[in-house]
Amino acid sequence: MKEFQMSLQPVLARGVRYRWDEFRQQHQLLFPEGLLVLNTTGAAIVRLCHNRSIEQIRNKLAQSFSDADLGPDIHEFLERLVERGLIQWCADPEPRLQD
């Protein structure tokens, strides 16, 4: 993976909300007229999509998941959400939050 991609910051697109559904014991991503059920890893990524680069998300996740490099997986997962208009890239040269 190229370095510039790791510095990209994913943010939830307008109108997209994460929600835990207690009834169904599900992580959900809600958007206009739709709902996406996320697995545990997906939910963990989405919940970190705020003021963080992919690299920072990877580092954060490495603390709770296995030691394998999650970077490419995170990128691929986020790209799929970008295609569906649920995530947007916001390139930010100066990360505002230190992990």
Partner 1 sequence: MEQRTITGAQSTAKDDRMEPRPFALLAELTYRCPLHCPYCSNPLQLAKYRNELDTSTWQRVLTEASALGVVQVHFSGGEPLVRPDVVELVATARAVDLYSNLSTGATTADPQILANLREAGLDALQISLLDAREAENDFFAGAPSFKQKQSAVRAARQLGFPITLNVVLHRQNLSRLQEIIDLAVTWQVDRLELAHVQYTGWAFQNRSALLPSRAQVESAEQIVANARERTGDHLQILHVLPDYFQEYPKTCLNGWGRTFLTVAPDGVVLPCQTAREIPQLCFPNVQDGSLETIWFHDPVFQRFRGTDWMPEPCRSCDRREIDYGGCRCQAFLLAGDPAVTDPVCRLSPHHHLVEHELQQAERASPDFAYRVMSGGEGLGQQ
Binding residues for partner 1, rule: CB under 8 A, are 13-17, 19, 21, 23-28, 30-39, 41-42, 77, 80-85
Minimum gap (Å) between residue 87 Cβ and partner 1: 9
CA separation for the pair 12, 31 (Å, rounded) = 10
Minimum gap (Å) between residue 84 Cβ and partner 1: 7
Q: Which is nearer to partner 1, 45 or 55 (CB)?
A: 45
Q: Which is nearer to partner 1, 13 or 95 (CB)?
A: 13
Q: Which is nearer to partner 1, 36 or 62 (CB)?
A: 36
Q: Are strands 8-12 and 17-21 parallel, antiparallel or unpaired?
A: unpaired
Minimum gap (Å) between residue 14 Cβ and partner 1: 4
**C-alpha of 91 from chain center:** 14
Dmax (CA) for the chain in angstroms is: 41
Are the C-beta atoms of residues 95 and 16 closer than 8 Å to each other?
A: no
